[in-house]
Amino acid sequence: MAVVNMRQMRDNQAGTIAAIKAEGELGRRIRDMGLVVGTSIKIQGRAPLYDPVALRVMGFTLTLRNNEADFIEVEVEE
Amino acid sequence: MKTTIALAGNPNSGKTTLFNTLTGSHQHVGNYPGVTVAKKQGTYADNGFEMTIVDLPGTYSLTAYSLEEVVARDFLINEKPAVVIDTVDASNLERNLYLTLQFMEIGVPVCIALNMVDVAKSRGIEVDAKRLSDLLGIPVIPTIARNGTGKKELIAATNKVALDPKIPNPLIISYGQDVDKALVEMEAEINSYDFLTNTYPARWIALKYLEKDQQIISLGKWKNPSLASKLEQIVNRVSRHLQDTLDTYPEAVIADHRYGYIKSVVKQGVLFRQYDQNRLYISDKIDKVVTSRFFGPLIMIAVILGLYHFTFTYSENPVAWLEGFFEWIGMLTETHLPDGLIKSLIIAGIIDGVGGVLGFVPLIMFMFFGISMLEDSGYLARMAFMLDRIFRAFGLHGSSVVAFIVSGGIAGGCAVPGVMATRTLKSPRERLATLLTVPFMNCGAKLPVFALLVAAFFAENETMVMFFITILAWFGALLVAKFLRVTVIKGDCTPFVMELPPYRLPTLKGLAIHTWERTWHYIKKAGKIVLGISIILWAMMTYPNLPDSKIQEFEAERRAAKIAVSSSVIEEIETPSENNELSKEAQILNARLVNIDARQAEAGLKYAIAGRFGSVLENVSRWAGFDWRTNIALVGGFAAKEVIVSTLGTAYSLGEVDPEQTEPLSRALAKDSEWGPLVALSLIIFTIFYSPCFVAVICIVKESGAWKWGLFSMVFNTVLAFILAVLVFQVGSALGY
């Protein structure tokens, strides 16, 4: 087990959210969509220009810009 | 008694479809007071039930960060609807319940419409509605909004809640020791001062303080500053404590516990999943291709071209019919009213003005139909996803692309539907920057101007110059967007965090309602103002009339021309017959008279306010190489860009010039010593960038919700255009062109 930044995750890699470092509006938006500590996620893919990133949360697809994914730390299996 | 019901829910939960199913065509669209968020209202009447249903904006939460959420929240608090029907997507239960909990925390009566149970079932997701209802203590009715399943049951359950005199107690969730302790302390303070408690529950106010909710905090400061600062102190204390012990914030703790509560509810036999929750469904498999690195952009280009083709090609005929209709009315007026000012006012001011507004209607309908299709199917979100990286660099949003394309990103669009297309953008700053820059695109009405100038001065490089014009417009628009985003619309990017909803087949009913309501909105809002401005412009080009002595001079010329020929020729002209060709003498006389009419029109135009204005402006416009004729034409272009060509025609004594047939004018310009390729280039650049036509300005005002942005786009764009034109003309002159 290791904790990595969401930006560093590979396509199709799964993990569990370990921490969300964003405050204010961005933090609120991220949490509103169900990204809270303990939620499991899976990277679904990236846009043709490698940004934003699409991920799977609780059965739906969510997109985030890379600089927004930077605030999210994920525990992944090696 | 008529009860008011609020319809709420997450975006993409099928809320709008449910609204359409419940209210049918009994809908009414307006705005929430003071903001540009659309407020849809409808009625349901059946079986003795009669209710007014208000469609709240689709939101994921009830924070003070977005206008939609504030509007929804204020409506619940101020209008106190009898029941909130909360549309919950059955295949996204956990995330949708997050909003439900927030309704229950405010203490409004809630009834859940567990929607799209069929889709959930096909995905192997089963929700026990009865169990969920028992655990939450509120009715849960399974529905399929698309075909009306569960509608009767939902109404019956809603009515039962509405008739229940017992108002539910606000839901109390435990947020962990630290936050709970602070909440109790704050609640006591709030209650002892009756602080805002006649509007909100005490615990909810305390929660909002902990969540750093700006609306409640500033309200509190104004109401009771000393108590407000006391509450803020408690918040600061908890924040510090949480930061020191757990490296987190109260906001985060609250969200974590809400989701914790939801997970515990769902685990008690409510939700059954047949498959792993990361399983890919058909929609995700489509996305593997549609958003892939190679096929994604190709498919997107095809879709954009398709939308463009659909909007502008299929609307061609209805537009032509409308034009024909207004021409016909104009002709009727022409033949049945006596010559004079009234006639001129009715034709040039009123009929052209109303025709100008209604002429856009087919275009807007087709455009919104196309965009609604992209939006409802879920493809629009994919476009935003794929293009965001590019548009973000200029302070815009991935979704901005649609507005740019429709406005003329591919030459030949129209800024009016383009400005209105920015409605699909949810981020306020990005939206404003988009709607202020889309008018730079080359709309169909600017094309005749370019065609005229290119034919006169750049005939051998036609394709290259037209391509250059398109690229220049894009570059200019994106750079100006960036400029606006670091100056007048400064501010961080709105977070992109966006759901990619599953692909869905749009319902025809939904598309029709969508299209009609937006079109009607346009007609209603733009109509009155456009008519007024159209009359003002007409007056500017008409008044003051030529002095009688001048008119006498032209009359004398006419008489002289007639005296010079024999009376039989005059008779031939004055009694036109269908089949006989005019004799040579008659043709010469006719040409002479037409020439006199045209020169009189030119003199009249120069003498009117617009002409004087143009002449005065000449002092300034010289810097860009424009004379008074061009100035008047550009003023006329404010009415509609194609008017530039016809006004130039009048100013060059060619009479009215049809924008489609500009060869004579083109030749006249090419011969004129005042003109040259440099002036033409300067005018092309000015035309790209200067003030949007006034129909577009009115749309900017309506969409931004403020006159100041309409004014801004007129002044800023014109100044920018002038600077660029002067730059080109002066540098070009210095280089000896």
Identify whether B61 is part of a domain. yes
Compute the CA torsion angle B652, B656, B657, B660 (nearest 10 deg): 170
How many domains is chain A built from?
1
Out of B128, B163, B198, pick the residue that ends a domain: B163
- Give the tens place of pLDDT for each residue, B118-162: 999 998 999 999 999 999 999 999 999 999 999 999 999 999 999
Which residues fall within 8 angstroms of residue B398, CB to CB, at 6 or more apart? B383, B384, B385, B386, B387, B388, B389, B391, B392, B496
CATH number of the CATH domain containing A63:
2.30.30.90
Instruction: Pick the residue from chain B with its C-alpha nearest to A37.
Output: B256
Residue B626's pLDDT is what?
93
Residue B526's pLDDT is what?
67
Length of chain B: 737
Residue B568's pLDDT band (cuts 50, 70, 90):
confident
Residue B245's pLDDT band (cuts 50, 70, 90):
very high
Helix (H) or strand (E) holding B361: helix B361-377
Distance CA A67, CA B536 (A): 51
Residue of B300, B385, B499 best to disrupt the A interface, most CBs of A under 10 A: B385
CATH number of the CATH domain containing B226:
1.10.287.1770
Instruction: Pick the residue from chain B with its C-alpha nearest to A63.
Output: B498
**ipTM value:** 0.95
- Quote the domain boundaries for residue B588: 553-599
Residue B644's pLDDT is what?
85
Which residues from A are below 8 Å from B385, CB to CB? 47, 52, 54, 63
Which residues from B are below 8 Å from A63, CB to CB? 385, 496-500
Which residues from B are below 8 Å from A19, CB to CB? 247
Residue B358's pLDDT is what?
78
Average pLDDT over residues B244-262: 93
Q: Which of B423, B442, B455 is nearest to B522 (CA)?
A: B423
**Same structural domain, B189 and B81:** no
Identify whether B478 is part of a domain. no
Distance CA B234, CA B222 (A): 18
Identify whether B404 is part of a domain. no
Identify whether B135 is part of a domain. yes
Interface of chain A toward chain B, CB-CB under 8 angstroms? 14, 19-20, 23-34, 36-40, 42, 44-45, 47-52, 54, 56-65, 68
**Same structural domain, B103 and B155:** yes
Q: Which of the listed ranges B263-267, B580-584, B585-589 does the model predict with the highest average pLDDT? A: B263-267
CB contact under 8 A, A25 and B65: yes
Which residues from B are below 8 Å from A27, CB to CB? 249, 251-252
CB contact under 8 A, B495 and A39: no
Distance CA B123, CA B282 (A): 10
Identify whether B93 is part of a domain. yes
Which residues from B are below 8 Å from A25, CB to CB? 65, 494-495
Which residues from A are below 8 Å from B291, CB to CB? 45, 47-48, 54
- Answer yes or no: is pLDDT of B1 > 60: no
**Same structural domain, B65 and B106:** yes
Out of B578, B599, B620, pick the residue that ends a domain: B599
**Same structural domain, B19 and B118:** yes
Length of chain A: 78
Average model confidence (pLDDT) across chain B: 88
Which residues fall within 8 angstroms of residue B1, CB to CB, at 6 or more apart? B50
Question: Which among A27, A48, A59 has the least Cβ separation from residue B91?
Answer: A59
State percent of chain B over pLDDT 70. Answer: 96
What the block records as the tokens of A24 is: 């204010």
Least confident of A42-46, B26-30, B436-440, B493-497: B26-30
Amino acid at B278: N
Question: Which among A34, A44, A50 has the least Cβ separation from residue B98?
Answer: A34
Residue B638's pLDDT is what?
87
Out of B273, B290, B312, pick the residue that ends a domain: B273
Instruction: Pick the residue from chain B with its C-alpha nearest to A22.
Output: B252
Identify whether B699 is part of a domain. no
Residue B533's pLDDT is what?
75
Least confident of B375-379, B386-390, B575-579: B575-579
Which residues from A are below 8 Å from B496, CB to CB? 52, 63-65, 68
Residue B263's pLDDT band (cuts 50, 70, 90):
very high
Which residues from B are below 8 Å from A11, CB to CB? none
State percent of chain B over pLDDT 90. Answer: 47
Q: Select the more confidently predicted residue: A36 or B587.
A: A36
Question: Which among A32, A40, A52 has the least Cβ separation from residue B385?
Answer: A52
Residue of A6, A9, A31 best to disrupt the B interface, most CBs of B under 10 A: A31
Compute the CA torsion angle B99, B101, B107, B113 (nearest 10 deg): 70
**Same structural domain, B158 and B181:** no
- Give the tens place of pLDDT for each residue, B534-563: 788 788 888 888 888 888 999 898 888 888
Question: Which among B255, B278, B388 has the least Cβ separation from residue A52?
Answer: B388
- Give the tens place of pLDDT for each residue, B338-370: 877 788 788 777 787 777 677 778 877 887 888
C-alpha separations of B324 from B277, B358, B412, B415, B416 in Å: 58, 12, 21, 23, 21
Residue B528's pLDDT is what?
67
CB contact under 8 A, A62 and B497: yes
Per residue, the 3-state secondary structure of B699-723, as one string, reads: HHHHHHCCHHHHHHHHHHHHHHHHH
- Give the tens place of pLDDT for each residue, B163-219: 888 888 899 999 999 999 999 999 999 999 988 888 899 999 999 999 999 999 999
Identify whether B50 is part of a domain. yes
The residue written with tokens 């002038």 in the block is B722
Which residues from A are below 8 Å from B61, CB to CB? 28, 32
Which residues from A are below 8 Å from B256, CB to CB? 31, 36-38
Instruction: Tell me the shortest Cα–Cα distance from A43 to chain B, in angstroms.
Output: 10
Residue B26's pLDDT is what?
75
Which residues from B are below 8 Å from A37, CB to CB? 256
- Give the tens place of pLDDT for each residue, B632-677: 889 888 888 878 887 787 777 766 667 767 777 888 888 888 889 9
- Helices B548-563 and B584-607 cross at an angle (nearest 10°) of 170
Distance CA B654, CA B595 (A): 8
Question: Which among A24, A31, A47 has the least Cβ separation from residue B388?
Answer: A47
Question: Which among B252, B291, B494 has the least Cβ separation from residue A31?
Answer: B252
Residue A39's pLDDT band (cuts 50, 70, 90):
very high
CB contact under 8 A, A25 and B495: yes
Which residues from B are below 8 Å from A28, CB to CB? 61, 63, 65, 251, 255
CB contact under 8 A, B95 and A34: yes
Instruction: Pick the residue from chain A with its C-alpha nearest to B297.
Output: A48
CB contact under 8 A, A65 and B392: yes
Question: Which among B252, B288, B386 has the least Cβ separation from residue A20?
Answer: B252
**Same structural domain, B148 and B184:** no
CB contact under 8 A, A32 and B98: yes
Residue B239's pLDDT band (cuts 50, 70, 90):
very high
Q: Which of B461, B421, B471 is nearest to B441 (CA)?
A: B471
CB contact under 8 A, B288 and A45: yes
Distance CA A47, CA B398 (A): 11
A to B CB pairs, distance under 8 Å = 128
- Answer yes or no: is pLDDT of B579 > 70: no
B100, exposed or middle or buried, with CB in 10 Å at 0-12, 13-18, 19+? buried
CATH number of the CATH domain containing B88:
3.40.50.300
Residue B678's pLDDT is what?
94
Average pLDDT over residues B293-297: 93
Identify whether B335 is part of a domain. no
CB B319: neighbour CB atoms within 10 A?
19
Helix (H) or strand (E) holding B38: strand B38-46
**Same structural domain, B214 and B151:** no
Question: Which among A28, A49, A51 has the least Cβ separation from residue B65?
Answer: A28
Average pLDDT over residues B666-694: 91
**Same structural domain, B218 and B99:** no
- Quote the domain boundaries for residue A21: 2-76
Residue of B126, B496, B499, B503 best to disrupt the A interface, most CBs of A under 10 A: B496
Residue B34's pLDDT is what?
65
CB contact under 8 A, A28 and B251: yes
CB B269: neighbour CB atoms within 10 A?
12
How many domains is chain B built from?
3
Instruction: Pick the residue from chain A with its C-alpha nearest to B66.
Output: A25
